[in-house]
Amino acid sequence: MYEQLQALLGLPIKSTAWPGYKKLPLYLQAGRAFHIVRAAGVAFLLVAPAESEQYRPLQLKKQCEKLQDAAGMPVAFSFTAMSRPQRNALIRHGIPFVFLPDQCYLPLMGVALQNHFSAKQKAPAQMTPASQMLFLLLLYRKGESLSKSEAAQALHLTPTSITRASAALANMGLIHELRQGKEIRMQPAGTGYAYYQKAAPCLISPVQKTVLSEEPHLRQNSLLAGESALAAGSMLAAPEVTTRACYKGLLGDAKTVTQQPDPLWDDYEHTFRLELWKYDPRLFAAGGSVDPVSLACSLRDVNDERVEEQLQRYLEAVKW
């Protein structure tokens, strides 16, 4: 296993058994293997759960914190089997893992790898609103190439903004810029759900701010968002206070309320939660709701297994 990890990281590693596991509670040590891995000056505890072990991301996250306190170093889990939903959930919760021979999520190694491979160009960590808009446009066009002028017109952005966004996506390996005569066309480096997954680590939440409002014109010019949108397309129960989304520029001087609603006294008939977005959700609207990818990005930090499960099913049901 450690030869595969060394090949995957491109770094020499050393591994030694960790005797400290004997002091752990039985539920943290039963059937597991513990090794201290050292690479590029970084040491972390690699925990291999038993093959028969059932786990949930929130449970692993709590265990990760306890193991880290006990070992005095970062912790990662090593798996021999992993489904796509499990992998996505681990990444959303920031749980480091290794799934050999070709997958790992080790943010704790980020600085070490950067220093070790400093000669390589560093890809942007996150998209800007403009680059995310361009990515979504290409994703929903299902593999269709676009010229920069076509993209600028579709997204209502300047040619300069499109040029910068295109360069950023190319640097991330998400598009190819192809010259055809005097024109440069942008070809997505993938399609469908796999293309979304490739971009997922770089995607940002579109939500700038959330307020409460009763303004009819904001309700009319907004879309279902958040858990309300997810409930409309899944088995999730709809929240009592509806969530909607609009471009932040539409808010203007509209009257809003900032206090949280009181479930015992407040009337929800006219009040709704309004997400102010960094880009106009109407550009990629799916019916009366925000688009699936932006929805997933906006719910990324929701710490609720019900939401995570229904969101995963919702995404897998999308006609990519």
Domain at 184, CATH number: 1.10.10.10
How high is the mean pLDDT of the chain?
Answer: 86
* 166 and 191 both lie in a single domain: yes
In a domain, 122, yes or no: no
* 144 and 88 both lie in a single domain: no
Is residue 169 within 8 Å of residue 190, measured between CB atoms?
no
Q: Please give the Cα distance from 47 to 29 (Å, whole number).
A: 9
Tokens 């099913």, residue? Answer: 313
Contacts of 142 (CB under 8 A, 6+ apart): 191, 192, 320
Is residue 107 within 8 Å of residue 74, measured between CB atoms?
no
In a domain, 123, yes or no: no
* 103 and 143 both lie in a single domain: no
Taking only the tens place, the pLDDT of each residue in 228-283 is 999 999 999 999 899 999 999 887 654 554 455 554 455 566 789 999 999 999 99
Q: How confident is the model at residue 185 (pLDDT cuts 50, 70, 90)?
A: very high
Of 22, 23, 32, 71, residue with least CA distance to 55: 32
Average the pLDDT over 130-146 and give the result: 96
The share of the chain scoring above pLDDT 90, in percent, equals: 54
Taking only the tens place, the pLDDT of each residue in 19-30 is 999 999 998 988
* 295 and 211 both lie in a single domain: yes
In a domain, 264, yes or no: yes
- Strand-by-strand arrangement of the 42-48 sheet: 13-17, 33-39, 42-48, 75-78, 97-99, 103-105
DSSP3 helix / strand / coil % (the chain, rounded to 5): 40, 20, 35
The tokens of 88 are what? 């996505």
End position of a domain, from candidates 69, 86, 116: 116
Return the axis-axis angle of helices 148-155 and 129-140, rounded to nearest 10°.
100
The tokens of 305 are what? 């297994």
End position of a domain, from candidates 87, 116, 145: 116
Contacts of 208 (CB under 8 A, 6+ apart): 248, 276, 277, 278
The Cβ of residue 166 has, within 10 Å, a number of other Cβ atoms equal to 23
Of 66, 94, 95, residue with least CA distance to 78: 95
In a domain, 270, yes or no: yes
* 147 and 244 both lie in a single domain: no
* 109 and 186 both lie in a single domain: no
Is residue 7 over pLDDT 80? Answer: no
In a domain, 259, yes or no: yes
* 193 and 213 both lie in a single domain: no
Of 103, 130, 108, 131, residue with least CA distance to 5: 103
* 88 and 160 both lie in a single domain: no
Structural domain containing residue 147? 129-202
The tokens of 81 are what? 């089997």
- Looking at the structure of the chain, the number of domains it has is 3
Taking only the tens place, the pLDDT of each residue in 106-125 is 887 754 444 544 434 454 57
In a domain, 88, yes or no: yes
* 144 and 98 both lie in a single domain: no
End position of a domain, from candidates 202, 230, 245: 202
Taking only the tens place, the pLDDT of each residue in 61-82 is 999 999 999 999 999 998 888 7
26-40, 89-103, 303-317: which range is least confident on average? 89-103
In a domain, 121, yes or no: no
* 197 and 219 both lie in a single domain: no
Tokens 């996505």, residue? Answer: 88
In a domain, 281, yes or no: yes
The tokens of 228 are what? 């309300």
* 6 and 109 both lie in a single domain: yes
Q: Please give the Cα distance from 89 to 84 (Å, whole number).
A: 9
* 96 and 192 both lie in a single domain: no
